[in-house]
């Protein structure tokens, strides 16, 4: 269910953009840079967090820097009624970064990382070892053309 945040405006968008660019800065400095009171920043941040717009403040990690040079998308076809079992297996695999249910001939699409192609094959074989998963099709990412981003979406939401 889509819930629209009431009164999301340019200040909210500027606050998010500034915090994305300067994640370690204190609220007083944010207020100074945005030209508003510290209490305004604190209240806006609390509103954005409680409404679910801001979901975290942790550091972003580059899997490649940790030795996982391969990124792949794995499309999974499930055995009927075994979604929970498949999800449990994927949650136990640290290389599965995310998994989403999709429409179409496959049931799930997962973003996974691997040290090399042999490791990717081991991961696919591990997924296939459960009767919950009938088939896997993997697509290796050759290059990233548009990195994960939310800035343009935040700007568009502030303008609408």
Give the global pTM.
Answer: 0.83
Q: Return all residues near 135 (Cβ < 8 A) that are at least 6 apart.
A: 76, 77, 128
What residues does CATH 1.10.10.10 cover in the chain?
A: 10-58
Query: What is the phi/psi pair of residue 73, to 5°?
Result: -105, 130
Q: What is the pLDDT, as a whole number, of residue 11?
A: 93
Structure tokens at 18: 């500034």
Q: What is the pLDDT, as a whole number, of residue 2?
A: 52
63-140: CATH number: 3.30.70.920
10-58: CATH number: 1.10.10.10
Q: What is the pLDDT, as a whole number, of residue 1?
A: 46
């Amino acid at each position: 269910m889509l819930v629209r945040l009431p009164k999301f405006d340019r200040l909210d968008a500027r606050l998010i953009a500034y915090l994305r660019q300067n994640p370690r800065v204190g609220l007083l400095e944010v207020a100074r840079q945005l030209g508003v009171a510290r209490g305004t920043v604190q209240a806006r941040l609390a509103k954005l967090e409680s409404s679910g717009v801001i979901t975290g403040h942790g550091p972003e990690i580059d899997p490649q820097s940790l030795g996982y040079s391969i990124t792949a998308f794995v499309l999974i076809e499930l055995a009927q009624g075994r979604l929970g079992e498949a999800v449990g297996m994927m949650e136990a695999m640290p290389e599965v970064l995310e998994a989403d249910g999709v429409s179409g001939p496959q049931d799930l699409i997962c973003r996974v990382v691997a040290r090399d192609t042999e490791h990717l094959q081991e991961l696919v074989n591990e997924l296939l070892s459960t009767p919950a998963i009938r088939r896997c099709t993997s697509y290796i990412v050759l290059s990233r053309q548009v990195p994960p981003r939310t800035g343009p979406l935040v700007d568009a939401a502030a303008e609408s």
